[in-house]
Structure 1
Amino acid sequence: MEIFEYKVDSETENMRMDRYLKKNYPDEPLSKIFQALRKGDVRVNDKKVKENYRLSLEDKITIKYLGNGKTPSKKTNSPKNKFSFDEKKYREMIIFENEDFFIVNKKERVPMHKGTGHNYGISEVFKQIYDNENINFANRLDYETSGLVIGCKNLKFLRYISEKIRKNEVEKKYIAVVHGNVKNEKFTIKNYLTTQENGVTVSKEKISKDSKESITNFKKISEKEFLKLRNKIKTRDKNISVLDIDLVTGRKHQIRAQLANIGYPIVGDSKYGIKDNSDRFHLYCYQISFDKYIFSIKNDILL
């Protein structure tokens, strides 16, 4: 019987034991993985651990009887399926990077991931640019929305920033152009969003177990700022407002659905708004901040 030994490095630090085992033994059913943990066939520093144990740096893991006694093959971090794209176009979207993460100014009508009608998104593109399958984006923007997203270069940072996002410790600010003359200078929308087959439903209270509380702060920009932008906003509707938005929670289509629900749909929003013949969707994530970092493209937004 071959015993597999592994010492925890920064890539797997703080990962749950069951997730580590499933990643390294993808063909094993979870029932067998849990059984191996209960029997002590999987040990950390020569001690039995439970499935929710968080791995620490330099932990020594020993495994037997999983994978038919075979040591898991070492996986390369290089993406498997290569494709052609305009690399310069995507590299120019990077506004900051260090060894752990990079910030991308995603353009409108650029998908985050491959899917219906799209052979690839920025996720697949940057995996190939960095030759690293561990590239992941911690936040997402809709296909039509432009602005800042956080790219993670390793799994450790992805876990770190995902936890901060879960705790609402990553601040995200948006600019939106909406139909109608917004009366209040400042206001907060707090309600529940429920994702359904055809989009997101807004309600004052939970309508199902999947309903999620959603909070957004809005501020109408000053008349002086509005006059500077007015001629750059391409819409036939003369009755519009521009809002500065602080996204407290980050639900699917949160800003779009909430604004449409109170009668101020975003200009160019064909899903929740009106047919306004706008050639652009006017929602932009202009600022992301966390820890000591503040990234902003507010002065560069082309409304």
Structure 2
Amino acid sequence: MMKNFEYIVDSESEGMRIDRYIKRKFKNESLSKIFQALRKGDVKVGGKKVKENYRLSLNEKISVKYLKAEISSDENKNYRKNKIEKKILDKYKKSVIFENEDFFIVNKEGNIPMHKGTGHKYGLSEIFKEIYNSENINFANRLDYETSGLVIGCKTLKFLRYISEKIRNNEVHKKYIAVVHGIIKKEKFTIENYLVVGEHGVSVTGNEIEGKKSITEFRCIERKLSENNKNIGKTVLDINLVTGRKHQIRAQISNYGYPIVGDRKYGKNDKSQNLYLCCYYIAFDEYKYEIEKKFLNNQIMW
């Protein structure tokens, strides 16, 4: 009897095509067999059939049957070290603000990738796989390369499945702080629209069939006016993420007319070396974690 398999899309696989994901998991199977499994519905994402070019979202559940996996599974294989320098490992150990036997919370710096890739020999994932000497280390949520703040590291696949389910059900609460170009006069406002992920980024649409519903709540907490023009300056926003889509905050606030300082993808070329967006608060179950809002207390580079 052939085994049925279940997987949770982690931050490393977000945005990957489903056919490539399945080929990576089932290396001994041919692409024709994988395409056939997709057409028959033997491979499902979120309980539904998908086409081979479907792009995966973070924490989606994938079920697979009638395909043959390699004997050595991801859960059992020994981790091969990348030989990252000790001083690098020691530095990142200090970024852990909490840990127990199931998970750990990392305060990620900006301009650090979650995973290795073009131009980067390693990312946060590879660093902590080496620190804990385990291939089972996964991050349940991801932050963009430029974004700083809190991420949840999972020590076991069981906890990854648990926290991923809570994220899908919007039971993990996250707050951000950002500095944007322009003076926003409203004290509080909510952006609700639909986002579409494309080859070159995320775009805003009013089409609920084409895009995924995205909701973000904003509160203005500080403004810095230009000395010469009171309508020009920057605004500091406290942000409550109601839904968690890729590039949600960056795409929505830019479309609203106030791009984040340092956002070269959705903003303007302001020559800032840093993206002023940080996830400063994360909470689930009885756990609550918060770091200092570094964009305040005269630390903002206006």
Task: Map residues 166-181 of structure 1 onto 2, 5 A cutoff.
Answer: 166-181=168-183
- Alpha-carbon distance change, 281 to 159 in structure 1, aligned in 2, over 3 angstroms: same
C-alpha RMSD of matched pairs (Å): 3.4
Letter in 2 for 1:166: R
Aligned pair count reads 248
- CA offsets per residue over residues 239-282 of structure 1, 9 Å max, x none? 00000000111111110010000110001111111121223210
Deviations 1:10-55 (A, max 9, x none): xxxxxx93338x99986366789xxxx9xxxxxxxxxxxxx979xx
8 Å contact kept, 2:214–2:244 = yes
Supply the distance in 2 between the matched residues of 1:172 and 1:73 (Cα, whole angstroms). 36
What is the match of residue 217 of structure 2? 217
Pick which of 291-300 and 116-125 moved more: 291-300
Structure 2: where are the runs of 5+ without partners? 8-21, 43-61, 226-230
Aligned to 2:4, which of 17, 34, 43? 17
Aligned in 2, Cα 1:92/1:300: closer, same or farther, shift over 3 Å? farther
Residues of 2 paired with 1:79 and 1:252: CA distance? 29
In the alignment, the residues of structure 2 paired with residue 265 and residue 84 of structure 1 have an alpha-carbon distance, to the nearest angstrom, of: 36
Question: Structure 2 vs 1, CA of residues 246 and 297 (structure 1 numbering), >3 Å: closer, same or farther?
Answer: same
**C-alpha deviation, 1:72, in angstroms:** 3.9
Identify if the C-alpha distance between structure 1 residues 52 and 278 changes in structure 2 by more than 3 Å, giving closer, same or farther. Answer: closer
**Larger deviation: 139-148 or 276-285?**
276-285
2:183–2:232 contact (8 Å) kept in structure 1:
no
Indicate the percent of aligned positions where both proteins have the same amino acid: 56
Does residue 144 of the first structure (1) align with residue 130 of the second (2)? no
Residue number in structure 1 paired with 2:255: 261
* 2:225 counterpart of 1:250: no
TM-score w.r.t. the length of structure 2 is 0.72
Aligned-pair CA distance for 1:205: 2.2
CA 1:179–1:18 in 2, change beyond 3 Å: closer, same or farther? Answer: same
Deviation, 1:118, is: 0.9
TM-score with structure 1 length normalisation? 0.72
Residue 25 to residue 190, structure 1, CA distance change in 2 (3 Å): closer
Q: 2-side partners of 1:203 and 1:52: how far apart?
A: 30
Residue ranges of structure 1 left out of the alignment (5+ in a row): 5-15, 38-50, 54-65, 231-236
For 1:277, the aligned partner's letter is K
CA 1:299 to 1:196, structure 2 compared with 1: closer, same or farther past 3 Å? closer
Q: Which residue pairs with 2:275 in the alignment? A: 281
Is the 1:108–1:145 contact (alpha carbons within 8 Å) kept by the matching residues of 2?
Answer: yes
Find the counterpart in structure 1 of residue 83 from structure 2: 83
